[in-house]
Structure 1
Amino acid sequence: MSGVTVTVCRSCPAGQDGLAAQLRAAVGDDADLREVECMSGCTRPSTVAFRAEGKTAYLFGDITKVDIPNLTIFLRLYSASPDGTFADARPLGSLREKAIARIPG
């Protein structure tokens, strides 16, 4: 396991529609995937967060199951980054436009 925690809001529409289970299947043991009742991203549901010790944390909104491939790319790049930042976000596709917050580590 990489030390990355991925948190999915189960109160959001995608969370209620099984996003966490599908994302868990996609990331396997590459992250600790958790679900919580609400992440207060209600103006941009559905929300997913990425965190790791000493790294910048990210919160994404407006997530659907279509974003799972980009979320797995993000996880791979995030895991490889020493501080959780990226020089080039283009590989993330539309996910880069779904960022709600970036919180310094």
Structure 2
Amino acid sequence: MKKQVIHILQITPEAYELLVISLYHEWCAQKSNSKKTLQKLLSCVPLFNWWYKQLDHFEKQFIEEATPFKGAISPQVAQDFYRETISGIYSIFSKPLIKKAYDA
């Protein structure tokens, strides 16, 4: 599925990795209240794995909606649409995993 997202966004696999890392950082920053808690969230592997599975659901939706336009839209429009489609990820969280990260 990553390959489909990369193809629609017209970016390299490395750029996709940076995008995912950036999104996770933004998400963690939104859920933390200090630099220390941000670091704890960023380094919690179970939390990242949970978040990545959630991102996968949003990316499936993106692929379904964007595939008919593949190649017909500019990379910037595709990336804007991607961000809009996955924006719901910022409103979800796993309370037990966040607590686990805070307690670590």
Using CA pairs under 8 Å that are at least 6 residues apart, name the structure with larger relative contact order, 1 or 2: 2
Question: Whose helix fraction is larger, Structure 1's or Structure 2's?
Answer: 2
Question: Whose strand fraction is larger, Structure 1's or Structure 2's?
Answer: 1
Normalising to structure 1: TM-score of the pair?
Answer: 0.31
